[in-house]
Structure 1
């Protein structure tokens, strides 16, 4: 069996160190906030090159808190892609704003700046580019449109060039991410101290000190145990991302591109998922499954066609490139450490499924 991602293979070598760090947290009795969370926030901010980073409970909360801290309110519009995980648009709606879906670039699968420009109105408060599957969105072009950016970087921790353009960037530490916790966790990275200060209050019931409540906030805190795990794993992220990029290169070298359309790479992609495109998706997925190789198709029903978003009035055909990507994408096994023999099996199976000589 070849899994889509082998999380255990990445953290297993560090189990002794993780246990040692967990024991220190247990001995301290500090499970909420405390030195582990503070240290991880400093280390994450330094890694990303931003002034401040704030640990929160999960990636969805990170989006909601960042939007609220940026001043997004009811009646505002926020532009985002529809080819992404539901949390991107869900967070906009939870903040009280209206999601406005713009189409994607067919090559990068990220927001198309031309489509975004055509979607801006006097009510537009922010744009949320998603660094989809680990490939950075076109931040320079989007920033030139003059609307504040909130980078949804849940899938792209460690990708070059992210986090320093947007007002905020948000991250998820769900266990399959490039940088992962051993449970849920999230982060808001801020380029402005004033916004960071609001996020810190919002994550703790709108308070600095549990005595005076300045805002209507929520309870969204990164656990000390998860912060301890993240501190153990963060120093290995660059190596894992290099290994992912090397694995992506091997897929191309092994001839996968003769059977499917490979993802593009501008040199900054960190391959949270290795996603190809093909009109033969179902045939390939069935062939892989028959030999015990996992695959997955993402966002098959894009956000603008999801039942919860029906009130926005989108119809099939509204976002043609988004809908085509939803019908053609297929993720193949990828993680930091996937073996050559495993990739050879994947490529041979894909090529055989579409009639390309192995």
Structure 2
């Protein structure tokens, strides 16, 4: 393990009262459309058929304006430890919590969209300093993707998943971590896959909820459940992925609304938390209003609605079909996630799957929906990975 470099600077967030008052004023002055025409549907997914129901939006907007406390989340970030460094002329923000354990393994956690570092704030301490002395411990690094949160916004094209993965290797090296484990879901899972495939000398192994198979595989020989997974994934990309096509083709256009209107930003993001979580009606069945608003407010205060959307422009459908992962891999497929690939398909790319999990509950945001299970699963998966390395 090399020594950390001086290129890393401590960072703290301190949002001004004026910025928070501006947010509240915009919320108070918001113009809302009429209610959805499926209004009156019984509680359940059907109620969200046309997007976020008006009554739900009014309720959370009122809470955001009158009760939500950003300073609580800001203080939490500062307690964990925030830093910035510059890689390829772009400022990268990250959380970093070193474990007190001498046997701790460096671990990088990568979020996706519409997530952020808010996805990991409730699990970092447990991963770094577990109460059980027999549980593995980790030096945890959780960067904000370029264009997200307190990382800089790229001013030119080129910051796709391949470049981000290379930047993560530089970032970990600057912290003294020449070899490390990696975890991610959504875009973070894509980046984790690229990390493992392109930089096996640095990556001890990976844990991911993203296991995209190479294209063109047959369903012959799959079980009924595995066939169902492929059908659900196909249905998602053909009928429920308009947001991805918009951000992949016209991120600047949607970006004006996301940066100018806090209600527009909230609705755009809340829609995905609702559809992609393992709930029967509302995402707040499993994720607190505060944690979702932490995520949305981070986008708002950093004005990153447009810059975050551009990761789709840079990388949508860009994963190299020939990329193979030979480092040990632990893969967990949650039942309500939006992409679910069967193991026979996944192992065409991930050649050393040492642990495969398929729990009974959980969706696209497991660290927020089922945090206790997520931490235990991550520990067990990475333990298997490290034992196989």
TM-score w.r.t. the length of structure 1 is 0.32
Q: TM-score, normalised by structure 2?
A: 0.30
